[in-house]
Amino acid sequence: MNEVPQWASFAVALIVPAIAILGFWMSLSSRLTKAEVTASEAKDDAKQANEKATLLSASFALYREQIAREYIHREVMREVEDRLTQAIERLGDRLDRVLERSGFVPQK
């Protein structure tokens, strides 16, 4: 009576692989679900990063435009500086003539 019936060994031979396949399938399904969730989160993160990059690009374009409007070029600044210097020199010359005419400063 110590023998195992033939149908029992046949049942074990069918059940063990079925359990192994079921375990593999559940593990694979779990991993796929986690991968889909991770991919979805990565997609959302990429979308947010893209939106931020677009906003920063637009903001930088506006900043460059503002800089171009508000700041003057070096050449223009040099021209203004030269005109101011010449005007101050002419004003000094006029002041010298006024003082010479009034007698405060001896003539040259």
Q: How many domains does the chain have?
A: 2
Same-domain status, 63 and 80? no
Q: What is the pLDDT of residue 106?
A: 64
| Residue 98 clears pLDDT 70, i.e. is over it | yes
Contact between 105 and 99 under an 8 Å Cβ cutoff? The reply is yes
Residue 2: enclosing H or E segment and its boundaries?
none
Rounded Cα gap, residues 32 and 52, in angstroms: 30
Residue 99 lies in a domain: yes
- Predicted structure pTM score: 0.45
Residue 23 lies in a domain: yes
Q: How far is C-alpha 96 from the geometric centre of its chain's CA atoms?
A: 60
Contact between 79 and 70 under an 8 Å Cβ cutoff? The reply is no
| Residue 19 clears pLDDT 60, i.e. is over it | yes
Average pLDDT of the residues in 54-66: 94
Q: What percent of the chain has pLDDT over 90?
A: 60
